[in-house]
Amino acid sequence: MSVPSASLRIGIAGLGTVGSAVLANLQHNAERFHAVLGRRIEVTGVSARSRTKKRNVSLDGIAWFDDPVELAASPTIDAFVELIGGAEGPARKAVETALAAGKHVVTANKALLAYHGLSLAKMAEAENVALLFEASVAGGIPVIKTVREALIGNEIRRVYGILNGTCNYILTKMQEEGASFDAALAEAQELGYAEADPTFDIGGMDAAHKLAVLTSLAFGTRVAIEEIHCEGIEHIRRADIEAADELGYRIKLLGVAQRIDGAIEARVSPVLVPKDSAVGEVSGVTNAIEIEGDYVGDLLLVGPGAGAKPTASSVISDIVEVARGDCLKPFIVPAAKLRPHKKATLGAHRGAYYVRLLVHDRPGAMASIAGRMAEHDVSLESIVQRRPRKSDAATPAKAAANNTMQLVLITHDTVEASIRRALKLIEQDGKIAGRAQMIRIETL
């Protein structure tokens, strides 16, 4: 991609905390970038919802656009930085407009890429412009460039990690301070780590969007958010945290994508990981991503997964890449050559599982549960039984908690579909209160 020697003119859509941090960085480091690149990076246009909002950054000499789509089409910019967010609406329309007009695009919008990454990549390639998205995954961690550039000589076997800092913060509070899920979530909201409506984070979709992008880059497949199996942490209780701790594990929400017999298993779900594993030791809002390559081996990237300055750092790195003029294809290989995402059979995974049940304290209940497991070839490694606290019981079982025994089972390696069938029958038999809790154990 050829780049003119004149200054690179930037338009920024979205002046929230990240957008303002990007603008401040570009202004503060203007002379440094000029010295390094041999050309200036100038912000010539901006767009945001409120022109009068107080911002700790100067807008002097910068054209204001009420409509981000108008900014995207403006002949006064060479590159469009989209920091609006959302898979549809103004963000999508503005990005498509910029690409169609032959503008380079830098975005932090994981949802937009998860749903429209393939079509946007095709547009960028057709116009011979850059589409860069380092900030869309893991905030300030340079995982996109690591996969696209540093590991280009590797065949990646697996990529996994903590992709959502909100969930990791909640689980850490439950682990280290004994907080309930609700209390930990409320504190995360008070500190600004979780939104007023936290569903997107705690339900796993935020991590799923990021994993969809990573999966495409790692395995050369089309972005396919619909193929990501997604579970959140809404059902994790203190009883699970405590039981895991006693068994030598911690509970983390992991995004995992790996090759299995020519197909790809990609999922977001809570898992038990060994306490002394790399991801097991990551606490708070920190993100961690491990990549397994055939030449590099295991590579661990740990750092801030969100926040204004870390995210702005990744946006700036993309802008500098545009200014250098050495951008690769958005998904490494041409979009037309990305392979269809062949999904591994759900439930085909073989491994060990943690199961927690609230068993009615009645004659024959334990024998019935063991029998259902045996019917489906689920072998049990350990069984721990204790009387639960009332807070351990999830609604609607809470009222019956005094008449139940908490049963924690650890299975030997088994097929996931088999244990799910066994648990479904156990629930139908009426031997347990509420739903069965099942969590995969990752040996890592």
Q: What pLDDT was estimated at residue 390?
A: 55
User: Do 186 and 232 lie in a common domain?
Assistant: yes
In a domain? residue 94: yes
Tell which of 80, 110, 136 closes a domain: 136
On whether residue 254 sits in a domain, the answer given is yes
Edge-to-edge strand ranges of the sheet holding 63-65:
63-65, 41-47, 8-13, 79-82, 104-107, 131-132
414 near 353, Cβ under 8 Å?
yes
Residue 339 counted as domain residue = no
Answer yes or no: do 101 and 174 share one domain: no
∠211-216-220 over CA atoms, to 5°?
150
> Token pair 């790692």 is at which residue?
218
Tens of each residue's pLDDT in the chain, 444 residues: 444 558 999 999 999 999 999 999 999 999 999 999 999 999 999 999 998 888 889 999 999 999 999 999 999 999 999 999 999 999 999 999 999 999 999 999 999 999 999 999 999 999 999 999 999 999 999 999 999 999 999 999 999 999 999 999 999 999 999 999 999 999 999 988 888 899 999 999 999 999 999 999 999 999 999 999 999 999 999 999 999 999 999 999 999 999 888 899 999 999 999 999 999 999 999 999 999 999 999 999 999 988 899 999 999 999 999 999 987 899 999 999 999 998 887 767 789 999 999 998 888 888 899 899 999 999 989 888 876 655 554 544 454 445 888 899 999 999 989 999 999 999 999 888 888 999 999 987
Q: Report yes or no: 336 and 123 within 8 Å, Cβ to Cβ.
A: no
Number of helices and strands (H, E) in the chain? 14, 18
Residue 312 lies in a domain: no
Residues 160 and 282 in one domain: yes
- Based on the domain organization, do 166 and 116 belong to the same domain? no
CATH of the domain at 39: 3.40.50.720
pLDDT for position 2: 45
Boundary of a domain, candidates 76, 103, 136: 136
| Gap between the Cα atoms of 134 and 161, Å rounded | 17
Are both 169 and 199 inside the same structural domain?
A: yes
Which of 107, 136, 165 is the endpoint of a domain?
136
CATH number at residue 396: 3.30.70.260
Q: Do both 63 and 24 map to the same domain?
A: yes
Q: What is the pLDDT of residue 443?
A: 82
pLDDT of residue 361: 82
Residues 122 and 182 in one domain: no
What total of structural domains would you count in the chain?
Answer: 3
Q: Is 342 a catalytic residue?
A: no
397 and 255 within one domain: no
Residue 209 inside a domain? The answer is yes
Write out the residue range of the structural domain in which residue 228 sits: 152-304
CATH number, domain containing residue 237:
3.30.360.10
Q: Check residue 240 and give its pLDDT.
A: 95
Contacts of 236 (CB under 8 A, 6+ apart): 171, 174, 181, 251, 270
Catalytic site residue from 103, 110, 210, 252: 210
244 and 191 share one domain: yes
Task: Evaluate whether residue 326 is within a structural domain.
Answer: no
Kindly state whether residues 75 and 169 are assigned to the same domain.
no
In a domain, 333, yes or no: no
Q: Name the token pair of 354.
A: 């943690």
Asked whether residue 163 falls in the same domain as residue 274, the answer is yes
What confidence score (pLDDT) does residue 289 get? 97
Query: CA 347 → CA 19, 41, 118, 350, 422, distances in Å?
Result: 42, 50, 28, 8, 13
What are the b/e assignments for 251-277, b being 16+ CB within 10 Å?
bbbbbbbbbeeeebbbbbbbbbbbeeb
pTM, to two decimals = 0.91
- Residue 22: inside a domain, yes or no? yes
179 and 293 housed in the same domain: yes
Structure tokens at 98: 């910029």
Q: 25 by DSSP, 3-state: which?
A: helix
